[in-house]
Amino acid sequence: MEKVKLEIIGLSYSQTQSGAYALVLAESGGKRRLPIIIGGFEAQAIAIELEKMTPTRPLTHDLFKSFAVAFSIEVKEVLIYNLIEGIFYSKLICEKDGLVTEIDARTSDAIAIGVRFNCPVYTFESILASAGILLDENATDEISMLEDEPKIEEVEEETPENLSVQELEKQLNEALENENYELASKLRDLINKKTS
């Protein structure tokens, strides 16, 4: 299967899910975005490493890195390998003495560890094709890292079942223009459900 490299382009606080964040991954050299809802702790762990901050005591992901380094284990890549009922499945590809091992992990943990090892994140084309969001040509290409006041709107209650696919696609484009990747993710899933 064809792998696609992803880059972390942002984290936004979720106002629709208490304590959750939207981690936004972008197709390297492309216009597709892959928003993933993650917990606050994991978002903090990713943000701390991206901002090159040093906590007073090691976080769990820092401990994992220290443990791996102490035993000469290198994390080579993060692979988002499956998507089942809206849940992304990932694994860490690790190497020690030429032996490669795959370790299953939650996507948020895998990325929090991956950023500490400065390793690439990949997914398969099939996952990006089904769950990725294509940026409209008029949409902003990048979002700022760790926005102070992210633009997140809730899907109106009458929206899901009553709107046509065309109306949902219009809302999806508006959500993308406003960099509201969480809403765009929900709309994308709804469009996929209606068209399948």
Q: Which two tokens stand for residue 183?
A: 């809403």
Question: What digits encode the pLDDT tens for the residues 5-48?
Answer: 999 998 887 766 777 888 999 999 989 999 999 988 899 899 98
Query: Rounded distance, CA 166 to CA 82, Å?
Result: 28
Question: What digits encode the pLDDT tens for the residues 164-176?
Answer: 878 888 887 777 7
Model pTM above 0.85: no
Query: Rounded distance, CA 36 to CA 23, Å?
Result: 5
- Contact indicator for 168, 186 with CB cutoff of 8 Å: no
The one-letter amino acid code at 134 reads L
The domains found in the chain, sorted by start residue, are 3-150 (3.10.690.10)
Query: Rounded distance, CA 37 to CA 179, Å?
Result: 15
Give residue 52's pLDDT band: very low, low, confident or very high (50, 70, 90): confident
pLDDT at 93: 97
- Contact indicator for 190, 172 with CB cutoff of 8 Å: no
